[in-house]
Amino acid sequence: MTDVVALGEVMLRFDPGEGRIRTARSFQVWEGGGEYNVVRGLRRCFGLRTAIVTALADNAVGRLVEDLILQGGVDTSLIRWVPGDGIGRTTRNGINFVERGYGIRGALGVSDRAHTAISHIRKGDIDWDTVFSTGPRWFHTGGIFAGLSDTTLDVADEAMAAARRHGVTVSYDPNYRPSLWAGRGGADAAREADLRLARHADVVVGALGLTGPHPGTHHVAADEVPDALAEIASRLPTAHVLATTLRAVPSAGVNDWTSAAWSPRTGFVSGPRMPGLHVLDRIGSGDAFAAGLIHGLLTGTSLERALAYGTAHGALVMTTPGDVSMATLTEVEALIAGNSAHVRR
């Protein structure tokens, strides 16, 4: 039986290591995707049984993505395989070139994901009642999937509504990507989509993405976070938990990292503070935070402890390359307990 199901796109990530995309002659290949990274972390670090609902073009590239997902321990039985047309004219698999950044040079992502197999998915393509009748406890999706096309928004809405009918806890991460909404209504359309979907969610991760008149336009200062989360809660009266990472970026290689959350029972809660955190690769750290938070909430810990799991897991994911978690639960719990980076033999 699966514990957590996610809905989202899984792409190939091409990583030039310490170099630049524009001058690279070789790349390390990983798998990644905002929603997928969450269930990958829950499986590999926290030991939960997880599955991904996605679609891939049935060719050698799609099978490479499948192989990487299998290595991550995530159930692939819910993948929809779409016949390829030979050149990707109508359906293809997404790829994402990502350089990590260094010092004053920030991380850079260049995605190539239009007309992918999952972007063509429509309402009714997935039998959600069957998916949720098998007993998963949690369902996760986000704004990246919702922003892939006009149809994926409807599919996310359909899936979240079905999960709630079956008593499954639902989480949503706004995860705004301007490139996905360019030419499709921009930030206004993204905000409308987020509010439509977040109303289905018990838990909203990345909740500060719902502040301001448009996504990505309003910076929330540290002392404004409690009021900002309370304001979001007033617009989402059925939400049980609103959570967010908080990051200051003195340089690409050094971040100040912490988190915060709100719930009707606890009010505002602060996560552990990790100033001056050295960063190898920040991509996927927010998804790792979501995984740790979900683990804590599923195991019945306090919201403060769940925030600690998320914050520590996100911090550890920033110490390794690629989107996905290479951390262990032992490492996460040691970091929560305040252990240092001394050598272990």
- pLDDT of amino acid 340: 54
Which of 70, 5, 16, 7 has the alpha carbon at shortest distance from 283? 16
- pLDDT of amino acid 213: 80
pLDDT of 345 strictly over 50: no
pTM, 2 dp: 0.96
| Band of residue 222 on the pLDDT scale cut at 50, 70, 90 | confident
- pLDDT of amino acid 339: 64
The DSSP element (H or E) to which 155 belongs, if any, is helix 150-165
| Band of residue 341 on the pLDDT scale cut at 50, 70, 90 | very low
pLDDT of 332 strictly over 50: yes
Strands (DSSP E) found in the chain: 4-7, 11-15, 28-32, 50-53, 55-58, 80-83, 95-99, 108-112, 138-142, 169-173, 203-205, 241-251, 254-263, 267-270, 274-278
Region label for 86, one of left (φ > 0), alpha (ψ between -120 and 50) or beta (otherwise): left
| Band of residue 219 on the pLDDT scale cut at 50, 70, 90 | confident
β pairing state of 108-112 and 138-142: unpaired
Torsion, Cα of 81, 143, 28, 344 (10° steps): -120
- φ, ψ for residue 202, nearest 5 deg: -80, -35
CA angle 48, 207, 250 (to 5 degrees): 95
pLDDT tens for 155-214 read 999 999 999 999 999 999 999 999 999 988 999 999 999 999 999 999 999 999 999 887
- pLDDT of amino acid 84: 87
Q: In whole angstroms, what is the distance from residue 21 CA to residue 17 CA? A: 9
- pLDDT of amino acid 343: 36
Contact 309, 295 (CB under 8 A): yes
Average pLDDT of every residue of the chain: 94
Contact 129, 162 (CB under 8 A): yes
DSSP 21: G
| Band of residue 64 on the pLDDT scale cut at 50, 70, 90 | very high
pLDDT tens for 16-48 read 999 999 999 999 999 999 999 999 999 999 999
The DSSP element (H or E) to which 332 belongs, if any, is helix 329-336
pLDDT tens for 253-298 read 999 999 999 999 999 999 999 999 999 999 999 999 999 999 999 9
Radius of gyration of the chain, Cα coordinates, nearest whole angstrom: 19
Task: For helices 303-317 and 285-298, give the axis angle rounded to 10 degrees.
Answer: 150
| Band of residue 318 on the pLDDT scale cut at 50, 70, 90 | very high
Cα dist from 150 to 121, 135, 146, 195, 306, whole Å: 10, 29, 8, 16, 34
How many beta carbons lie within 10 A of that of residue 83, not counting itself? 11
Residue with tokens 């740790």: 292
